[in-house]
């Protein structure tokens, strides 16, 4: 009799936990866009290894795919430092008004496209604006601008999703202005920084950096297995270039003609098609190419999403 009671009790507990877990995601989805005007874009990427890309805005997530734009119908948090990974995304930021979550969110991770998230570290303490994550490695780099007892100011990294952190000394990094951080997709030790004074790359977890080239005003860099892409703003013109680690070869990627005075602030490359690139500009124009720049489609004009 006691054995049956124990089994029944465990069954009730399991069913109860299952119900709680399902309630976390209940009703959340990407649906028809109700607000097609976006500003304050804080990130861009292909989450969960899929074919659709997502932008993180001041009013939550938007997704673009074969059916066009869709908008998250809830969980409209102000995601900052948004970083797509194959398992989902890492982010920081501020909860939507009226939410039960603490402000700021600290470091969070979502595996279900934003329906729910894990609070990994610094919940209610830090809002990371500069954050990078390896797409497959999940190595995390943050530039902390809000020193607290557990983490002082500067560049830090974690290889266990925020359980422990190590501060990087950043020897050789000489710029006073940083635009973004980019982590190598699989090699945890490689981190790149786009800055006013160019690109700086480290292959030892940010301990030592070297300048990659002579480019200035590098507003964004993203790394792939063999190199990556970067964009810079020079002589009132915007450039997008691909590069290789081994040969230092750089190739100009043709851009839409109306980008001359509109710097690129985010770049994302599809995990399924390396010739598919999405860019977001300072004026909230969004473009996509599926042939590495031979042709572009405009998906948003000054923050207004295309139909």
- How far is residue 15's CA from residue 12's CA, in Å, rounded to a whole number? 5
Domain boundaries, the chain: 28-305
Q: Does residue 9 come out as left (phi exceeding 0), alpha (psi in the -120 to 50 range) or beta?
A: alpha
User: Residue 17: what pLDDT?
Assistant: 37
Q: Residue 208, exposed/middle/buried by CB under 10 A (0-12, 13-18, 19+)?
A: middle
The string of DSSP letters for 128-197 reads -SEEEE-TTT--EEEEESS--SSS-SEEEEESSTTSS-EE---BT---S-EEEEEE-SS-TT-EEEEETT
Kindly tell me the sign of the dihedral angle through the C-alpha atoms of 117, 122, 128, 130. Answer: negative
pLDDT in tens, the chain (307 residues): 433 433 334 333 333 333 333 335 579 999 999 999 998 999 999 999 999 999 999 999 999 999 999 999 999 999 999 999 999 999 999 999 989 999 999 999 999 999 999 999 999 999 999 999 999 999 999 999 999 999 999 999 999 999 999 999 999 999 999 999 999 999 999 999 999 999 999 999 999 999 999 999 999 999 999 999 999 999 889 999 999 999 888 999 999 987 878 999 999 999 999 999 999 999 999 999 999 999 999 999 999 999 7
The string of DSSP letters for 159-177 reads SSTTSS-EE---BT---S-
Strand-pair partners of 140: 133, 158
Whether the ω angle into residue 104 lies within 30 degrees of 0, i.e. cis, is yes
User: Residue 25: what pLDDT?
Assistant: 55
CB-based contact 133:86 (threshold 8 Å): no
Fold of the CATH domain 28-305? Methylamine Dehydrogenase; Chain H (2.130.10)
**CA separation, residue 244 to residues 164, 214, 224, 241 (Å):** 32, 15, 9, 10
User: Residue 258: what pLDDT?
Assistant: 79
Report the predicted TM-score, pTM, of the whole model to 2 decimal places: 0.91
Place of tokens 């936990």: 17
User: Residue 13: what pLDDT?
Assistant: 37
DSSP code of residue 254: P
């Amino acid at each position: 009799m006691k054995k049956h009671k124990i089994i029944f009790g465990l069954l009730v507990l399991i069913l109860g936990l299952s119900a709680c877990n399902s309630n976390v995601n209940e009703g959340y989805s990407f649906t028809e866009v109700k607000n097609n005007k976006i500003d304050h874009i804080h990130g861009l990427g292909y989450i969960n290894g899929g074919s659709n890309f997502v932008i993180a805005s001041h009013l939550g997530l938007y997704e673009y795919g074969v059916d066009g734009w869709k908008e998250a119908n809830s969980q409209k948090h102000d995601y900052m430092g948004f970083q797509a990974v194959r398992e989902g995304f890492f982010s920081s930021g501020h909860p939507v008004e009226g939410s039960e979550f603490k402000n700021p969110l600290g470091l969070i991770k979502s595996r279900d496209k934003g329906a729910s998230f894990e609070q990994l570290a610094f919940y209610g303490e830090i809002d990371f604006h500069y954050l990078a994550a390896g797409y497959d490695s999940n190595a995390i780099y943050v530039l902390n601008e809000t020193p607290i007892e557990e983490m002082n100011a500067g560049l830090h990294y974690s290889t266990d999703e925020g359980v422990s952190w190590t501060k990087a000394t950043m020897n050789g990094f000489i710029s006073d202005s940083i635009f973004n951080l980019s982590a190598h997709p699989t090699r945890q030790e490689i981190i790149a920084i786009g800055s006013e004074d160019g690109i700086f790359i480290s292959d030892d977890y940010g301990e030592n950096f070297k300048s990659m080239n002579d480019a200035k005003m590098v507003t964004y860099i993203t790394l792939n297995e063999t190199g990556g892409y970067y964009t810079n703003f020079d002589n009132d013109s915007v450039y997008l270039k691909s590069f290789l680690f081994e040969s230092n070869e750089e190739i100009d990627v043709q851009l839409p003609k109306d980008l001359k005075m509109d710097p690129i602030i985010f770049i994302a490359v599809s995990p399924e098609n390396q010739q598919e690139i999405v860019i977001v500009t300072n004026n909230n124009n969004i473009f996509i190419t599926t042939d590495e720049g031979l042709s572009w489609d405009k998906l948003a004009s000054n923050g207004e999403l295309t139909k």
